[in-house]
Amino acid sequence: MSTAPAAGPGRPPRRIGPFEVPAIGLGCMNLSHAYGVPPAPDAAGRLLLTAVEEGVTFFDTAALYGFGANEELLGRVLAGHRDRIVLASKCGMTGVDGKRVIDGRPETIRRTADEALARLRTDVIDLYYLHRLDRQVPVEESVGAMAELVAAGKVRALGLSEVSARTLRRAHAVHPIAALQNEYSLWSRNPEEGTLAASRELGVALVAFSPLARGFLTSSPPNLDALPAGDIRRAMPRFDARHYPANLALRHELDRIAVAAGLTLPQLALAWVLSRGPHVIALPGTRSAAHLRENLATLDVDVPGEVLDAAGRVLNATTVHGARYHEATLTEIDTERCGRAG
């Protein structure tokens, strides 16, 4: 018997606090940050406008991305469409003197919010996440400062990123949490250790970032030899020479399942994520208009539950080779660990 519900055509909108959005949004990090050399600003702007034209209404950025450049990009390009979109950004992790710094102190959160509002060219941020838990600051203090932003009319709803179910519950007791953003894909199953169920119980949207496994489950998997210096995947165990060939073999099996079902591999991967629950929203990123349209077409395809189950058996926390991050990075992240991959 199939354990996964079928992913049907024309999915209805999904809720994030007071907002309704399509089940697939757009993560904007790779337009400014982390994955090699970012595109030229004009090209990045055209991709954002194409997303608006194609019906995307949920756009996600952060103070960290490009150390403010990504917020500035979205502010410049999307200001004229502000009433049509739900705009999310993040605080608690920023660039300081060229380095990534986790800082959840209330005074830092207040300052970062004002800076974000200016860069985004808006009077209010629809959804504001705590990007990372600062282990030196109780989450109640960080969320308390964010709640003050809501009271001041600077933010409409609050979110958390990469935290555990326990931390989610602590934060939710201070102020209602509208969204929890955790990495979730066929090969990153950490939410299944607690936050998938806890978010559903609390009425919190689970926003799945990297649902296409950081490009691994796209139509063209990364070529390790071609990854530019500074691409964050160079430091991720699943992409190193010890593990990548074995993961590519699993990908080949997934591609076979997708083709047999009349899907592309990204569509199969996205449909699997969306089938995890009606409170789950997928947040793929792309620099390609063609890939954007391919991803969004997932909303109109019918994927039988047995196909989703088969994909989940091929690639999961037990079969994947390599951890999500190196141990030093994992110590910074509050999410539950799972399987042999961490």
What would the two tokens of residue 291 be?
């890939």
Give residue 25's pLDDT band: very low, low, confident or very high (50, 70, 90): very high
- Give the Cα separation of 341 and 143 in Å (integer): 30
Percent of the chain with pLDDT over 90: 89
Q: Which fold has domain 14-214+269-301?
A: TIM Barrel (3.20.20)
Give residue 2's pLDDT band: very low, low, confident or very high (50, 70, 90): very low
In the predicted model, what is the mean pLDDT of residues 263-268?
Answer: 98
Task: Work out the number of other CB atoms within 10 angstroms of the CB of residue 285.
Answer: 24
Give residue 339's pLDDT band: very low, low, confident or very high (50, 70, 90): low
Domains of the chain by residue range: 14-214+269-301
In the predicted model, what is the mean pLDDT of residues 96-109?
Answer: 95
pLDDT given for residue 36 in this prediction: 85
In the predicted model, what is the mean pLDDT of residues 197-215?
Answer: 98
Q: What is the pLDDT of residues 266-325, one digit of tens each?
A: 999 999 999 999 999 999 999 999 999 999 999 999 999 999 999 999 999 999 999 999
In the predicted model, what is the mean pLDDT of residues 248-266?
Answer: 98
Q: What is the pLDDT of residues 50-69, one digit of tens each?
A: 999 999 999 999 999 999 99
Contact between 263 and 189 under an 8 Å Cβ cutoff? The reply is: no
pLDDT at residue 340 is higher than 90: no
In the predicted model, what is the mean pLDDT of residues 116-122?
Answer: 98
pLDDT given for residue 8 in this prediction: 47
Is 65 marked active-site? Answer: yes
pLDDT given for residue 10 in this prediction: 57
In the predicted model, what is the mean pLDDT of residues 100-117?
Answer: 97
Those residues whose C-beta lies under 8 Å from the C-beta of residue 290, and which sit 6 or more positions away, are none
User: Mean pLDDT over all residues of the chain?
Assistant: 95
pLDDT given for residue 6 in this prediction: 56
Of 35, 65, 184, 244, the active-site residue reads 65
pLDDT given for residue 129 in this prediction: 98
Instruction: To the nearest 10°, report the CA torsion of 223, 225, 226, 227.
Output: 90
pLDDT at residue 341 is higher than 50: no
In the predicted model, what is the mean pLDDT of residues 91-104?
Answer: 94
From the list 236, 185, 200, 195, the residue with the least C-alpha distance to 15 is 200
Contact between 63 and 110 under an 8 Å Cβ cutoff? The reply is: no
- Give the Cα separation of 328 and 252 in Å (integer): 31
pTM metric for this prediction: 0.95
Q: What is the pLDDT of residues 129-180, one digit of tens each?
A: 999 999 999 999 999 999 999 999 999 999 999 999 999 999 999 999 999 9
pLDDT at residue 96 is higher than 70: yes
Residue 104 backbone class (left: φ over 0; alpha: ψ -120 to 50; beta: rest): alpha
23-35: buried (b, 16+ CB within 10 Å) or exposed (e) per residue?
Answer: bbbbbbbbbbbbb
Half-sphere exposure of 302 (CA within 13 A, CB side): 1
pLDDT given for residue 76 in this prediction: 98
In the predicted model, what is the mean pLDDT of residues 232-258?
Answer: 97
What would the two tokens of residue 179 be?
């969204």
